[in-house]
Amino acid sequence: MISNDTKTPSSNPFAVLKYSIVIWLDDWTDWIIIGTLWLLSWIIVFLGPPATFSLYYVAAELRQGRAIGISGFVQAGKKYFWKSWLWMLISLIVMVVIISNYQFYGRLNQPWTEIIKGAMIFLGIVWIIIQFYALPYLIFQVEQSLILAWKNAFLTVLASPFHALVILSLSILIFALSLLLIVPLLLGAQGLVAILGCVTIQDRIQAFGIHEREEERKRGKVS
């Protein structure tokens, strides 16, 4: 089950982005500090995955109207330390397998290997999109299961692939501008991407009517 404290105003990806920016700006000063802590955590390396989970945790709480700030960021890092590293290791293994297969079949120089290489590129893109959705799902889920989060993320992408591609493209654009211009990165743009992910998940849950079906199922069991 996934929490449903608030609703998004529209299913349009650009409206979702606009709504995310509004939420981000409301707590912008904290995001500058949190974004700096996130950067430092990845420089230290072993704190990187927990910091990423913390980023999404703070974003999810803010999405539901609860500003937990820097202290919440630190506490979330402690809470998700081991789970974040499990996520990181599995994600790396999957990407290594995909890249290794791409390189192996690329060396064969056979016409049919182009199909395999194309499939590997497609799987890589899908895996990246799933990660973008999986982290917010994990935070919102009552059952804190990575497998369930990946499953929900995959089903969401499968149900609305165009929406997922647009949202991912917007997220990549934000990160690209942050890396190129530096200033957005220093101003907490990482938090905007995390909020965008959380708002997107709530939007998809609302669009699919998941909570309505859960309520109907509960009423059916009671009757």
Q: What is the 3-state secondary structure (H, E, C) of 59-70?
A: HHHHHCCCCCHH
Determine which helix (DSSP H) or strand (DSSP E) holds 128, and give its type and residue range. helix 113-140
Mean pLDDT for 180-191 is 73
pLDDT at 9 over 60: no
Number of domains in the chain: 1
What pLDDT is stored for residue 2 in this prediction?
A: 53
What pLDDT is stored for residue 89 in this prediction?
A: 96
pLDDT at 77 over 70: yes
Q: Does the residue 46 lie in any domain?
A: yes
Q: What is the 3-state secondary structure (H, E, C) of 168-189?
A: HHHHHHHHHHHHHHCHHHHCCH
Q: Does the residue 99 lie in any domain?
A: yes
Give residue-wise pLDDT tens across range 15-53.
899 999 999 888 888 888 998 899 899 999 999 999 999
Q: Does the residue 3 lie in any domain?
A: no
Residue 212 pLDDT level (bands cut at 50, 70, 90): low
Higher pLDDT, 124 or 186: 124
Q: Does the residue 64 lie in any domain?
A: yes
Q: At what angle do helices 189-208 and 161-181 cross, to 10 degrees?
A: 170
Mean pLDDT for 145-149 is 94
Q: Does the residue 75 lie in any domain?
A: yes
Q: By residue range, what is the domain housing residue 87?
A: 13-222
Q: Does the residue 4 lie in any domain?
A: no
What pLDDT is stored for residue 8 in this prediction?
A: 53
Q: Does the residue 8 lie in any domain?
A: no
Q: Does the residue 6 lie in any domain?
A: no
